[in-house]
Amino acid sequence: MRFDAVQSYMREQKIDAWLLYDFRGSNSIFAQVLPGKRWTTRRAMLLIPATGDPALLTHGIDHHQFDGVDVPKELYLSWRDLHAWLGKKLIGCRTVAMEYAPGGALPVVSIVDGGTIELIRSLGFEVVSSANLIQVCVARWPEEAIAAHKSASADVNKIKDEAFGFIRDHIAKNTTVHEHEVQQFILKRFEQSNLVAPEPPIVAVNPHSGDPHFEPSEKHPTPIARGDWVLIDLWARRPKDPAVFSDITWVGFVGKDVPAKHREVFDVVKNARDRVVERAVTAWKKKECIQGWQLDEVASATIVDAGYGKFIRHRTGHSLSPGMVVHGVGFNLDNLETHDTREMLPGLGFTIEPGIYLPEFGVRLEINVFVDPKSGPTVTSGIQTDPILIA
C-alpha cells in the first residue's frame, strides 16, 4: 500500500507521524490501512512517518498474520522491546497522530484506549487526532470506487421507482400490500441487480415514517392503503471492494393530491437539503475550509426557522466511504449528536438527509454527494423535487 497522499497531508498539517495501534482487532482503521483477514493475540503498531518509509511492529507469536503485507516488519517479545521500538522510531518527532478525539467528541475516531495515549505522552510526544488522516488515507474514493458507486446509484434509483410502482400496482388492483412485502421486493431486486446490503431497507407508512430507524415486520404487518404517506429508505453497493454504497430516501403519497401539511413539511426538508448542497458548492468555489458541523447547521437552521426544530431527530448526513459499512469513516454533517470538525476534503463522499419527524408522519430526503477533486461537490444520486404520487 502507498501512503504518499496521507504523508503529504501530514507534512502540510505539521504532523510528524501517524501511529496506528491495535490489540486483538480493536482498531478498525488499522485493519483498513493494512487489509487482510488475521487473528492476532498481542499488540501491533503501524508507524507512518510524514517523511520516509512506514514500519510495522508485531509480536513474534503473531508475525505470520502479517505475511504478505507490503510494509517492513519488525518483531518484539517484551513490553520493554515495544517501548524501545517506539523511542527509536519516533526520534525527532513532536506531534504523533492516533485514533483519538479530544473529549471523545468523535466516537468513530475515539478508538485507542486512554492508557496507550498516556504511554505515548509519557515518552514526550504530543498526541493529536488522526481524524483527517483517516479521511485522506481510508475514506477517499479510488477511481474504481467512483465508477462502482455511480453504477450502483443508477440501479438503486431504478429499484426505488419500481418499489413505488409495486405499491401503485397493488392499489390499482385493490389488493393488499404491506410494508414488509415492499421491503422484500426491494431485496429481491437487489439480488437480481448484483447489489448487496448489510441490512434490509426501510418501508414506513404514516406514523412509522416518523421513526428514523423503523423496521417493518412480517410479525406486525402494516398495510399500505389510499391516503397513506410512504417513506422508503434503501441502500446498496456492488459486492466487490472498494465499492461505496448508494444510500437514498424518498417519500410518496397514495393519492392524487398531497395533503397541505405533508406538502409544507416536504418543502421545508427539500429547502434544507438544497441549501446544504449550495453551501458546500460555494465553499469549494471559494476554496474555503468547511467542516461537517457547519453543513449540519445550514440544514438545522432552515428547519428551526420554519418552526419544526423540535422534530429534528438526527444529524444532517453521514460519510460514504469504501467498504461494507454504510456509515463511512469520513466526516459527518453533524452538530447535533457530535460536533464534527473534520473537513470536507477532495475525494470524499457523504449523504445529505435532513428530516422532520412528526408523530403522524415523517419526511426525509436523502441524496449522495461526491467531492470531485476537479469540479467539487457533485450529487451522484437522484434528487426528489416533489412527493411521488402513488395513484
pLDDT 10s digits, 224-253: 999 999 999 999 999 999 999 999 999 999
Q: Residue 282's pLDDT band (boundaries 50, 70, 90)?
A: very high
Say yes or no to pLDDT of 296 above 70.
yes
Say yes or no to pLDDT of 377 above 80.
yes
- pLDDT for the residue 36: 86
44's grid cell: 501491533
Task: Please give the sequence-ordered ranges of beta strands (E in DSSP) within 261-385, or none if there are none.
Answer: 319-320, 349-352, 355-357, 362-364, 367-372, 376-379
Instruction: Output the CA angle 304-294-334, nearest 5 degrees.
Output: 75
Rounded to 10 deg, the angle between the 260-285 and 292-305 helix axes is: 150
How does the average pLDDT of the chain come out, rounded? 97
What are the pLDDT digits (tens) for 25-71? 999 999 999 988 899 999 999 999 999 999 999 999 999 999 999 99
Neighbours of 55 (CB within 10 A): 17
Say yes or no to pLDDT of 153 above 90.
yes
- Closest by CA to 367, choosing from 348, 387, 383, is 383
Find the mean pLDDT for residues 259-284.
98
Q: Residue 1's pLDDT band (boundaries 50, 70, 90)?
A: low
Find the mean pLDDT for residues 306-331.
97
Fold of 4-138: Creatine Amidinohydrolase; Chain A, domain 1 (3.40.350)
Domain range annotation of the chain? 4-138, 141-389
Find the mean pLDDT for residues 110-127.
97
- Closest by CA to 109, choosing from 351, 341, 320, 346, is 341
Q: Residue 2's pLDDT band (boundaries 50, 70, 90)?
A: confident
Find the mean pLDDT for residues 279-294.
98
Find the mean pLDDT for residues 218-229.
96
- pLDDT for the residue 349: 98
What are the pLDDT digits (tens) for 93-113? 999 999 999 999 999 999 999
- pLDDT for the residue 391: 87
- pLDDT for the residue 8: 97
- Closest by CA to 259, choosing from 271, 267, 269, 249, is 267
* Percentage above 70 pLDDT, the chain: 100
- pLDDT for the residue 237: 98
Q: Residue 327's pLDDT band (boundaries 50, 70, 90)?
A: very high
Cα dihedral 358, 362, 365, 366 in deg (nearest 10): 100
Say yes or no to pLDDT of 278 above 80.
yes
Q: Give the Å distances, CA to CA, from 115 to 112, 118, 133.
A: 8, 5, 22
Say yes or no to pLDDT of 376 above 70.
yes
- pLDDT for the residue 175: 97
CATH class of residue range 141-389: alpha beta
Phi, psi of 237 (to 5 degrees): -150, 170
